[in-house]
Amino acid sequence: MKRQIPLMIVLILGLLFVAHVFIPSRLSTDYLDWFMKWTKVIGPFAIVLGVFSLVYVHYNKIKRKAPTWGYSIVTLTALVVTTAVGFIWGIQEGTPYMWIFKNFNVPLGATMFSLLAFYIASAAYKAFRARSIEATVLLVAAIIVMLGRVSIGQAITHWIPDITEWILNVPNLAAKRGIALGVGLGMTATSLKIMLGIERSYLGGKD
Amino acid sequence: MTETIGIWIAAFLTLCMFSFLYKDNPFYKFAEHLFVGVSMGYYIPYTYYNAFIPYAYNPLFLKKEYILIIPFIIGFLYWFRFSSKYSWVSRYPIAFGMGMVGMGVPMSMHATVLVQMRSMMLPLDNINIILIFIGTISILLYFFFSKAHEGVYGKFTSIGIWFMMVGFGASFGYTVMARISLLIGRIQFLLGDWLGLIK
């Protein structure tokens, strides 16, 4: 009941999906439509887990007066206000909800990811110091690709964009293809392990 | 007016985030926590209006598709995750979603193995195609650990490392450029939309 039935569900649905791919028919298409329809109904319920988890963590921090608990008030207030605004005025263009998205979400997200430009550069300096031939190859390829993607590369010499294209289309393609073949075989093996109940970590829990 | 207020808020939050370049500080922490709350707050109404209403509520309550009561119940089972005694019940909706892995077996075999192999099987009449062929084979052999990497075999597999290094370098270059373009966007916002120094 606790483990066997979920494992049976995965096995049966999984085998039906294999059949769907290998035996194209009206029945298999109907099966896919049915599955997708039900998944779309089930999916939204999962967001409650995320919301509850976030609220639980920050509520407990505030309750225990944990270090930096004041910031948890910021998180919970932002959560409640944004959600309420979305439900009261709707989520169409021009609503306060979209105003919050445009002036809070977008700049915060873009700036946070743009910060990585600085850290990626310092990490690169530490990692790429040409201590071996292989590291030098990596460094040179990265510099050429970076220069080849901006106009200064063209200004230095027209060879740089050409070499960039060659790096992307030949050695990079070979590397991507070799890794993709390994990843593909790994995905197939992992999918089989999950379907056959060998890999069960997604079930979590003890019993 | 609301646009001006929005620009000032966005500029303040952008500077709060950039303050982390100096060191971790209260302004950054404020912006970081605000981002978490606003992001989650954004997705609740978004999921409600774009997923729950059109795919769950309307078909069941307006179109009277009563069969959808079953996935409704399965969805509710997720919430048993909160109970320490009955958390195992939440495995049912998870298992339903995991059924999709059945699709993964033939699809990943097709998309990432067979298609890649077919693309590789070209007449070796061009130096680039020969290089791609040698690169792919040497990378695959590099990850084959049942044979010791020594002698001629070891030398051939080390070619695979070179190809991978070029590939990693290219990926790194691409990632850096993507981050730099985001950074340029933020600087343009600060100097253009906020301060009006650039048009």
| In a shared domain, residues B9 and B98 | yes
Chain A CA closest to residue B49: A91
Q: Which of B36, B67, B102 is the last residue of a domain?
A: B102
Residue A146 within a domain: yes
Token pair 């995991």 in the structure block, residue: B98
Residue A43 within a domain: yes
Chain B CA closest to residue A173: B132
- Is the pLDDT at B128 greater than 80? The verdict is yes
Chain B CA closest to residue A187: B108
Query: Which range among A9-18, A52-61, A113-122, A188-197 shows the weakest confidence by mean pLDDT?
Result: A113-122
Contact yes or no for A46 and B75 at CB 8 A: yes
Residue of A11, A132, A172 to mutate, testing the B interface (most B Cβ within 10 Å of its Cβ): A172
| In a shared domain, residues B48 and B86 | yes
| In a shared domain, residues B144 and B88 | no
| In a shared domain, residues B97 and B137 | no
Residue B68 within a domain: yes
Residue A142 within a domain: yes
Residue B174 within a domain: yes
When pLDDT is averaged across residues A32-36 and rounded to a whole number, the result is 93
What residue numbers bound the domain in which B92 lies? 2-102
How many whole angstroms separate alpha carbon B147 and alpha carbon B138?
Answer: 13
Q: Which of B102, B133, B159 is the last residue of a domain?
A: B102
Contact A168, B173 (CB under 8 A): no
Percent residues over pLDDT 90 in chain B? 73
Per the structure block, which two tokens stand in for A122?
């310092």
Distant-in-sequence, close-in-space partners of A151: CB < 8 Å, separation ≥ 6: none
Contact yes or no for A102 and B17 at CB 8 A: no
| In a shared domain, residues A11 and A82 | yes
Residue A96 within a domain: no
Contact yes or no for A39 and B88 at CB 8 A: no
Residue B53 within a domain: yes
| In a shared domain, residues B129 and B94 | no
Contact yes or no for A171 and B101 at CB 8 A: no
pLDDT at residue B17, rounded to an integer: 95
Q: Which of A89, A109, A141 is the last residue of a domain?
A: A89
Size of interface A-B (CB pairs under 8 A): 391
Between B135 and B122, the more confident residue is: B135
| In a shared domain, residues B7 and B97 | yes
Q: Is the CB of B12 inside 8 Å of chain A's CB atoms? A: no
Tell me the pLDDT band of B191, cut-offs 50, 70 and 90.
very high
What residue numbers bound the domain in which A182 lies? 129-197
| In a shared domain, residues A70 and A151 | no
Tell me the pLDDT band of A134, cut-offs 50, 70 and 90.
confident
Q: Which of A89, A105, A140 is the last residue of a domain?
A: A89
- Please give, rounded to a whole number of angstroms, the shortest distance from the CA of A159 to a CA of chain B: 16
Token pair 């509850």 in the structure block, residue: A52
When pLDDT is averaged across residues A171-194 and rounded to a whole number, the result is 93
Residue B110 within a domain: no
pLDDT at residue A207, rounded to an integer: 63
Query: Could you read off the pLDDT of B56-112 as tens digits, one per residue?
Result: 999 999 999 999 999 999 999 999 988 888 999 999 999 999 998 888 888 888 888
Contact yes or no for B38 and A115 at CB 8 A: no
φ, ψ dihedrals at B82, nearest 5°: -75, -15
Domain count, chain A: 2
φ, ψ dihedrals at B196, nearest 5°: 70, 25
Per the structure block, which two tokens stand in for B136?
């792919």
Domain count, chain B: 2
State ipTM. 0.86
Residue B114 within a domain: no
- Is the pLDDT at A124 greater than 90? The verdict is no
Residue A39 within a domain: yes
Contact yes or no for B169 and A139 at CB 8 A: yes
Q: Which of residues 123-152 of B touch A (CB under 8 A)?
A: 128, 131-140, 142-143
When pLDDT is averaged across residues A91-102 and rounded to a whole number, the result is 95
Residue of B29, B33, B120, B161 to mutate, testing the A interface (most A Cβ within 10 Å of its Cβ): B33
Contact yes or no for A178 and B105 at CB 8 A: no
Residue A64 within a domain: yes
| In a shared domain, residues B22 and B92 | yes
The residue among B35, B5, B6 whose CA lies nearest residue B20 is B35
| In a shared domain, residues A16 and A75 | yes
Q: Which of A38, A68, A89 is the last residue of a domain?
A: A89
- Please give, rounded to a whole number of angstroms, the shortest distance from the CA of B74 to a CA of chain A: 7
- Is the pLDDT at B120 greater than 90? The verdict is no
| In a shared domain, residues B72 and B154 | no
Residue A115 within a domain: no
- Please give, rounded to a whole number of angstroms, the shortest distance from the CA of B147 to a CA of chain A: 17
Which of A9, A54, A187 shows the shortest C-beta gap to B96? Answer: A9
- Please give, rounded to a whole number of angstroms, the shortest distance from the CA of A56 to a CA of chain B: 11
| In a shared domain, residues A11 and A80 | yes
Q: Which of B55, B70, B102 is the last residue of a domain?
A: B102
The residue among B73, B75, B84 whose CA lies nearest residue A204 is B84
Tell me the pLDDT band of A206, cut-offs 50, 70 and 90.
low
pLDDT at residue A205, rounded to an integer: 66
